[in-house]
Amino acid sequence: MSDFKEYFDLIANTPVLKGLALVVLSVMIAKFVDMVFTLIFKRVVNTTKTTLDDRILQLLHKPIFYSILFVGFIISIKTVSLHESVEFALIGVFKTITIIIWLFVISKILVMSMDWASRQTASNKILQRNTVPLFNNLGKIAIGLFGAYFIFLSWNININGILASAGVLGVVLGLAAKDTVSNFFAGIFLMADSPFKEGDYILLDTGERGYVKKMGLRSTRFMTRDDIEITIPNSVIAASKIVNESGGPGEMERVRITLTVSYDSNLEEVRSLLIDTAKRESNVLKDPEPRVRFREFADHGLKLQLLFWIQNPEVRGRTVDAVNSEIYKKISDNNISIPYPTMNVHLSRESQKSE
């Protein structure tokens, strides 16, 4: 017993030995706390149905262990009584490493939680599969800023002046790049509201039709039918009316072709001809079947409308061309008259004499 007391007094009175003892003790405590933490919380997470908490628990092993370990290292460094500059540098390094470890772990937990939440809340209009990368990036930026703030504090750097300068600089940059900021927030709202997504076939206000090639935070790119890529700022898109032809339950689209025939035409014969022409076209769907509607008694004839469905909006142009060409051929072969406005000029006798 006396020998143990002598060893204890020796360690307590020798700074180097006391520091080494604290290092060993901190390793043991860190390992013990990690084991207890795992045993307690593992029982809790096993009672839940989701696997998210299990993965989070696995991620928390490293930061908890190293946080306790580095706290012991810092205490041992202060005990050894090193030179002030060396002590400051070592403590700053351990604090920085601890903060960086926690930053990486919190970032991974954020990504996992966002992905899990997007799959659980399908009715949520903001947190969706296509907006998850956006919120992940914003969250990582926020975590990085907080991490940088705490790293500065760990080195006793006063960042109040830096923050004040950054605030003034932010105001200046915001005024200088107001269009970019407007496009950025418009991009966030477009991703959250999801009026269209990448791959959708849309119609722009200017009349161009094409696919959404890429949605960015500043602009959106479209590929038109002329194989021309158009880049439009998100702020312009947010304030425009855009027809999404790929919206709804599917990309199936109804096409209308209007035709006027003379009053002496056989209505049923014209109906059959139009329906048969549509059915023969390969791009026209068999279900729903093509149909003809008698719309009105027009000034020069009977106005009919052929309705049929196509599978993809991109084939609309060539399908209308093929059907129109075949209709014109059929009505010419069947002597069906298409009326058109005419003008008769009557000259009086006096005007004829003057000539």
pTM listed for this prediction: 0.55
Q: What six digits make up the tokens of 233? A: 């700022």
Pick from 215, 199, 203, 287: nearest CA to 245? 203
| pLDDT (0 to 100) of residue 126 | 58
Q: Token pair of 92, please?
A: 């700053």
**Is residue 339 a contact partner of residue 309, using CB atoms and an 8 Å limit?**
no
What kind of fold does domain 253-333 have according to CATH? Alpha-Beta Plaits (3.30.70)
Q: How many residues comprise the chain?
A: 355
Rounded Cα distance, 115 and 130, in Å: 10
- Distance of alpha carbon 332 from alpha carbon 326, whole angstroms: 10
CA distance 344 to 347: 10
The two tokens of residue 70 are 């580095």
Q: Where in the chain is the domain with CATH 2.30.30.60?
A: 195-244
Residues of the chain with CATH 3.30.70.100: 253-333
**Residue range 195-244 in CATH 2.30.30.60:** yes
pLDDT tens over the chain, length 355 residues? 555 555 555 555 566 666 777 778 888 888 888 788 777 777 777 777 777 778 888 888 788 888 888 888 888 888 777 788 888 888 899 999 999 999 999 999 888 888 887 777 555 555 666 667 677 778 888 898 888 888 888 888 877 766 666 666 666 666 666 777 788 778 877 877 778 888 888 888 877 788 898 887 788 898 987 888 988 888 888 888 888 888 766 678 899 999 999 999 999 999 999 999 999 999 999 989 999 999 999 888 999 999 999 988 888 889 999 999 999 999 989 888 888 777 677 666 665 555 5
Asked if residues 279 and 309 have their Cβ atoms less than 8 Å apart, the reply is: no
Whether the CB-CB separation of 141 and 217 falls below 8 Å is answered with: no
Q: Quick one: tokens of 46? A: 């096993």
